[in-house]
Chains A and B, each alone.
Chain A
Amino acid sequence: MSTEKQPLRRKLDKLFIPLTVGPTLLWIAAIIVYPTVKLIINSFQFRNPVTNEMEFVGLRNFERLLFAREGANAAFGGFSQEFVAITRNTIVYVGFSVTISFVLGLGIALLLHKDLKGRSWFRTAVIVPWILPYVMSGLMWRWMFQADFGAINGALQQMGVISGNIPFLSNGALAMAALIVADVWVFTPFIVIILLAGLQNVPEQLYDAAEVDGASRWSRFWNVTYPFLKPSIMVALTIRIIFDLRALDLVWVMTGGGPGKATEVWASWLYRTAQVFNSPGPGAALGVVLLVVTFAIVATLYKIFGESPYEA
């Protein structure tokens, strides 16, 4: 093949990288960089109710949302009670959900890693809750926990465990527990998948060696499995924490943040602030805070484990 006959071909070849990478970069820049910049600008603005114009207000949005204006409202450090309460709810929700689904997911992954017949069938059945629409899962659990005709009250009553109905979703603590149950139900499969992949990295011979040495089951897990599983654990936990922090779907359809503000978390607070009060400024300010918190969590986990969740 003579080369001078194909000038176009060679030109196209030279353009291979710009043509394959360029469109994606432009697309992502347009759809992520621009909104992010707009978010930051918005966070310093407030819509004047009279003129309907956006006015620059400096840090006032942040101040109004996070700090108490009067002493009576103040919690520790001058933060507003609302902010402290919602942050506490978020920590309870994320903390319990992630811990329970992690422990459960690890157990299921260890079971599924065994050389069982029908393992792939089990894996399929385990995975499904995670790929259903979250909204549907949230409503499904709301229906399960429904006071009069829900399955949980129904089953407990028919088994004679309780005599009256338990109003799961209209009691603050119970509503939070119900949310956690739904969250664990949805996200345990995700932990299972990630940990199963990690388990495949554990060399089988090491188990045999450990057995010969008479290592106990616990010491086999701790000394053989765990070191190889660590990167996957890191990935699973990081993604779980970050996504729980920002996910609105389940909370919104199950409790809407209620009763009262008992299950209001960061994501629902942000949505309510931005949407219900139709105020782009304060909503954006919360968005910025969430952005900063997310990056702080990622950076902290990265520092502790020394590995990016995307490189494991």
Chain B
Amino acid sequence: MSTKKSRLDRLRRSLGLETDNEWPSVVRERLGAYVLLSVYLVVIWFPIYYIFITSIKPSAEVLSLPITFIPRDPTIGNYVDIFTNRPFDNYTINSVIIATTTTVICVTLGTLTGYSFSRYDFMGNKTLLLSIVGARMIPPIALIVPFFQIMSSPPLIGGITGSLYDTRLALILTYTFFNLPFAVWIMKNYFDGVPESLDEQARIDGCSRWEAFFKIILPMAKPGIAATAILAFIFSWNEFVFALVLTSSETAQTLPIAVSLFVADDFVDWAHLAAGGMIAAVPGILFGLFFQQYIVSGLTQGAVKE
């Protein structure tokens, strides 16, 4: 408190303010920050507001002039329509299954592997870690052709499963490609921050490596796991290009594809598109609002977004 006060005093003196009554520059600076941030927020949230009001306008109002920025006649009809006239229930289920499964695989494998990379020196561990992380550098879009070919006739297991094209499995396999290296990386960094003496103590107390990991270390890694899980879920939920190439029907298509399907060549059904878009945006908005600190901590530990 006293340092703050002296800092303020110094500032006041440096600005040539003699009395305490004048508005200190710290306050002015803060007010300025609030104003700038508020203007920025209003501007960046306006498009989201606009797509939201479009989603609750009747189609006729969407295409009428002048544009209404507050809906005259709000309705949930568009939302009802996309679930009754279009298979939005299927799309949503696909999105949930694909994103959840990918997340579970990536978190499980990523946590175990990240822990070993953090704790043990084994043959080529540095090179292996670097290649896993380097795999993220490969532009996914460069691989759309080979992925399409592989999913259409999978090598080795092709005789058993047949084509994986237009299945949820194809997308789950593909999305682990985006998210697994990233999960390994976040978890490795996270475990680096958990003191090694904890494992050692557990080992001295007679725990096996597995017990030390599951009983002592894993419970401490919850925030790291949360960060990895949230980001892996969001990345898989939002992915568009591979879903576009690898699926063709509602048996496997996800919400981002469903939204893009409202765009016909020369006509766009904006009201329904907006409703579909809001559905697709739900996890992003919810995770953003409630788990923002996990997203930030996960990313700042060296992660990457596709």
Contacts and interface: CB of A to CB of B under 8 A. Distances in A.
A149 B67 contact: yes
Given A20-B113, A39-B145, A154 B67 contact: yes
Interface residues of A, number: 100
A246 interface: yes
A253 B116 contact: no
Contact of B138 (A17, A36, A141): A36
Interface stretch (B41-49, B74-82, B85-93, B216-224): B41-49
Given A20-B113, A120-B293, A242-B137, A154 B11 contact: no
A143 B270 contact: yes
Interface stretch (A70-78, A83-91, A110-118, A171-179): A110-118
B260 A253 contact: yes
Contacts of A274: 144-145
A21 B36 contact: no
B96 interface: no
B95 to A, nearest CB: 10
Contacts of A125: 41, 45
B45 A132 contact: no
A31 interface: yes
B210 A246 contact: no
A258 interface: no
- Residue in B255, B273, B302 whose Cβ sees the most chain A Cβ within 10 Å: B302
Contacts of A114: 29-30, 33
A27 B33 CA distance: 48
Contacts of A111: 33, 36-37
A300 interface: no
Contacts, number: 286
A108 B40 contact: yes
SS of B interface (majority): helix
Interface string B109-140: 11011011100101000001000110101111
Contacts of B256: 133-136
Given A20-B115, A116-B34, A280-B149, A290 B141 contact: yes
- Residue in A28, A42, A116, A188 whose Cβ sees the most chain B Cβ within 10 Å: A28
Contacts of A27: 109, 176, 180
Interface in B238-295: 238, 240-241, 245, 255-257, 259-260, 262-263, 268, 270, 273-274, 277, 280-281, 284-285, 287-289, 292-293, 295
- Residue in A10, A126, A158, A245 whose Cβ sees the most chain B Cβ within 10 Å: A126
Given A20-B115, A127-B296, A136 B143 contact: no
B258 to A, nearest CB: 10
Given A13-B208, A27-B176, A132 B281 contact: yes
Contacts of B137: 242, 294-295, 298
Interface residues of B, number: 102
A280 to B, nearest CB: 5
B23 to A, nearest CB: 17
B233 to A, nearest CB: 10
B10 interface: yes
Contacts of B135: 28, 32
Contacts of B146: 34-36, 38-39, 42, 284
Interface in A220-248: 235, 239, 242-243, 245-248
A220 to B, nearest CB: 12
Nearest to B66: A158
Contacts of B210: 12-13, 16
A21 B270 CA distance: 48
B138 A291 contact: yes
A42 to B, nearest CB: 6
B284 A128 contact: yes
Contacts of A262: none
- Residue in B54, B146, B306 whose Cβ sees the most chain A Cβ within 10 Å: B146
Interface string A187-212: 01010011011000000000010011
Interface string A270-312: 1100110000100110111011001100100000000000111
A249 B287 CA distance: 21
A239 B304 contact: yes
B1 to A, nearest CB: 13
A86 B207 CA distance: 60
Contacts of B259: 133, 135-136, 139
Given A24-B112, A108-B40, A211-B7, 6 more contacts: A24-B109, A124-B292, A131-B285, A133-B255, A245-B139, A287-B141
Interface of B: 3, 7, 10-11, 14, 29-30, 33-34, 36-37, 40-41, 44-48, 50-51, 54, 62-67, 69, 109-110, 112-113, 115-117, 120, 122, 128, 132-133, 135, 137-147, 149-150, 155, 173-174, 176-177, 180-181, 184-185, 206, 208-210, 234, 237-238, 240-241, 245, 255-257, 259-260, 262-263, 268, 270, 273-274, 277, 280-281, 284-285, 287-289, 292-293, 295-296, 299-300, 302, 304-306
26 contacts: A16-B116, A24-B184, A108-B40, A111-B36, A123-B292, A131-B287, A131-B288, A133-B281, A135-B238, A135-B240, A135-B256, A136-B256, A139-B263, A151-B47, A158-B67, A188-B44, A242-B139, A243-B306, A248-B240, A248-B241, A249-B240, A252-B240, A270-B142, A287-B142, A290-B142, A291-B138
The list of the 7 closest CB pairs from A to B, nearest first, reads A287-B142, A197-B300, A154-B67, A35-B146, A246-B139, A20-B112, A133-B238
